[in-house]
Amino acid sequence: MSVTGPTRRSLLCAAAALPLASCAAETASVSPPPILPHLLLTAFDGDASAPAQLDAWRASVPPGVAVTVGYGPRLSALLGLADFTDAPAFPGDRLDPARCGGDVVVELRGADPGVLAAAAEAVPLAPRWRQRGFLRVPADGSTPRNLFGFKDGTANPAPEQVLTPGGGTFMVVRRIRMDADGFLALPQAAREAVIGRYRDSGAPLGASGEFDEVALLAKRPDGSYVIPAGAHVRLAHPRLDRGARMLRRGYSYDDGPGDRGLVFVAFMADPALFTRVQRRLSSADALNAFTRHTGGTVCYVPPA
């Protein structure tokens, strides 16, 4: 079945900015070059005929539209693809059932939101929920910023780190409402302490470059951590998960007054990684005062 994307080799590589030659030939297709400014995620209900229906639909997708298709827990089990469950409930979640789940999740990315909408409308399955997103792509190619004004997506792993042994990957989606007004009302130093990075450079606190190592053990003369105990980058650090990584691809969304935030999309070899990270974040992340998870799903993306 070939329903995951336009190529087998380039898509994961581009998400991590790696040379094409470094990627294996059989991988799940999850990210094409260049960075694409518009996102449309649509979840559908479906049955065992969905893969064949999606194969036929893909022929109608215009050039320049990146397609990733994942299958939810029920349909993945029915098709014999993967055995997994959706993410559990976490403290602080305010999940709207109308924005959760789905047997099939289609992620479309491209330059024209109208083209994405037309492609999604043509999917021959019953829609369950839909979410649009956008990126303000810097002209200089630097890391995009989220609605809090911080760089988002700095430390992504090599593609092979997010693949299952069979060459697929798991895609986790979370719709996260952000209180940008409340966050931006904080002094800049307080905002940087919440995130654990400097706003302007994107460098970890105590460092000078965006891609410098996050020094989790560094302390000030008074014994306090340079990167506070509740800083987002500390609690999400892969060192706390024995080096396991997720490849993150976030888009902002704006669904009207009081409902703006982040469409968090991440790929990983085992969805249990997201559960571990989110449990830490939900219990101690200083960012929780300004965010609320309102929707999401977990699905399996088979190899192309």
Residue 3 domain-assigned (yes or no) = no
Residue 4 domain-assigned (yes or no) = no
Residue 266 domain-assigned (yes or no) = yes
Residue 247 domain-assigned (yes or no) = yes
Annotated catalytic sites, by residue?
A: 152
Residue 192 domain-assigned (yes or no) = yes
Q: How far apart are CA 141 and CA 88, in angstroms?
A: 36
Residue 12, judged by CB atoms within 10 A of its CB (0-12, 13-18, 19+), counts as buried
Half-sphere exposure of 109 (CA within 13 A, CB side): 26
Domain with residue 141: its CATH number is 3.30.70.3420
Residue 27 domain-assigned (yes or no) = yes
Mind listing the pLDDT tens digit of every residue in the chain (304 residues)? 434 443 333 445 444 433 323 333 345 655 545 689 999 999 999 999 999 999 999 999 999 999 999 999 999 999 999 999 999 999 999 999 999 999 999 999 999 999 999 999 999 999 999 999 999 988 888 999 999 999 998 988 988 899 999 999 999 999 999 999 999 999 999 999 999 999 999 999 999 999 999 999 999 999 999 999 999 999 999 999 999 999 999 999 999 999 999 999 999 999 999 999 999 999 999 999 999 999 999 999 999 8
Q: What is the pLDDT of residue 141?
A: 85
Q: Domain count of the chain?
A: 1
Residue 1 domain-assigned (yes or no) = no
Residue 88 domain-assigned (yes or no) = no
Structural domain for 245, as ranges = 10-83+93-301
- pTM for the model: 0.90
Q: What is the pLDDT of residue 139?
A: 87
